[in-house]
Amino acid sequence: MNLMNLFEDIYPEFTARIRLAPSPQLANTIIEETRGGASPADVFWAVDAGSLDVVANADATSTLPKEVVNTVPKTFHPNNQWVGIAGRARSIPYNTERFSEADIPTDIFAFPRAERFTGVMGWAPTYEAFQAFVTAMRVLNGEQKTKQWLRGMLDQEPTEYPDEFLVSNAVADGEIDAGFANHYYALRVKAARPKAPIELAFTKNDAGALINVAGAEVIRGTRKKALAVAFIRHLLSVEAQEYFTTRAFDYPMIPGVPPVGGLPRINELNPPNIDLMKLSDLQPTLALMREVGVL
């Protein structure tokens, strides 16, 4: 039984009508619908903070009550227009038969310079999570340094994949030795193949250590605002948070629910100090990636 089925069983008045699409596409649709009068959507549930903030910046959301969001660290509900419900950390999945944890740099800018990574890395530059990571690098370090990193990585001749689950699978298969991916993909590989030779390493205090979130917001103009707010409140309940951590291997957003799979807790990682709302500024990142030849 999935989470929506569970909610429908608990609350007879709740029926989930789900529209699935990439988060940026849904964000644009909601904005257009809201500007045209009203969106049929009550809640926008997105896989990244940037898409959530695009909708909020378009004045298409309602402020969430403090009692709903206050259990979540402020970083993950910066203006109360949206709130994180599941965290995802950038990571370096690596094949344990090729590398040890000590071989993996804790500085994201070391990867283009290290000869041992030539021809053995994988990435997914068309994937939303990777583009959010590059956006974070651009915000933190500027366009010039980001271009240098991308060009340096191109010189390392990484193998390109359409998504980061495939990157992580390729690491486990020995097709590549390491890659760039959100943390939970490696855990999903290990859940399916417990003996797979894959582990995770993390960089420190740079874009490679970004913690992004899937999150939710209430759409302005909904006729079911109370139910929409209650839905988001329940996404932040212990039961739902345990579901996200044990089924999807996400990071929990509330205290008292530990991560699974031997992951360090969020407060044990060293993410960069970045305003997640700035991740919504994606177009300059795409232009930069095209200029360099990554896209």
In tens, the pLDDT along 244-255 reads 999 999 999 998
Task: Delimit the domains of the chain by residue range.
Answer: 3-87+210-263, 89-209+282-292
**Do the domains 3-87+210-263 and 89-209+282-292 sit in the same CATH topology, yes or no?**
yes
Neighbouring C-beta atoms of residue 112, cutoff 10 Å: 18
Which residue reads 């994937």 in tokens?
127
pTM of the model: 0.88
Q: How many angstroms separate the CA atoms of 198 and 141, rounded? A: 30
Dihedral angle of Cα 57, 60, 65, 66, to the nearest 10 degrees: -10
Q: How many angstroms separate the CA atoms of 223 and 218, rounded? A: 11
CA distances, 254 to each of 65, 183, 209, 282 (Å) = 16, 18, 20, 28
Look at residues 76, 125, 9 and name the one whose alpha carbon lies nearest to residue 279. Answer: 76
pLDDT of residue 10: 74
Two tokens at 210? 């970004």
Task: Indicate the length of the chain as a whole number.
Answer: 295
Is the model more confident about 37 or about 159?
A: 159
What average pLDDT does this structure show over 86-93? 96
pLDDT band at 121 (very low <50, low <70, confident <90, very high): very high
pLDDT band at 1 (very low <50, low <70, confident <90, very high): very low
pLDDT of residue 37: 85
- Mean pLDDT over the full length of the chain: 93
CB 55 within 8 A of CB 41: no
pLDDT of residue 141: 97
* Long-range contact pairs involving 141-150 (C-beta distance under 8 Å, separation at least 24): 141/206, 141/207, 143/284, 143/288, 145/109, 146/288, 147/288, 147/291, 147/292, 148/112, 149/108, 149/109, 149/112, 150/288, 150/289, 150/292, 150/294
pLDDT of residue 7 exceeding 80, the answer is no
Lowest mean pLDDT among 33-42, 104-113, 124-133: 33-42
CB 126 within 8 A of CB 162: yes
Two tokens at 190? 């290990």
Instruction: Kindly report the CATH class assigned to 3-87+210-263.
Output: alpha beta
Q: How many angstroms separate the CA atoms of 255 and 42, rounded? A: 27
Instruction: Kindly report the CATH class assigned to 89-209+282-292.
Output: alpha beta
Q: What is the percent of the chain with per-residue pLDDT over 70, rounded to a whole number?
A: 100
CB 198 within 8 A of CB 168: yes
What average pLDDT does this structure show over 137-142? 97
pLDDT of residue 266: 85
Which range has highest mean pLDDT (78-82, 175-179, 231-235)?
175-179
Q: How many angstroms separate the CA atoms of 226 and 218, rounded? A: 10
pLDDT band at 38 (very low <50, low <70, confident <90, very high): confident
CA distances, 44 to each of 81, 137, 208 (Å) = 11, 26, 27
pLDDT of residue 14: 74
Dihedral angle of Cα 74, 76, 77, 81, to the nearest 10 degrees: 170
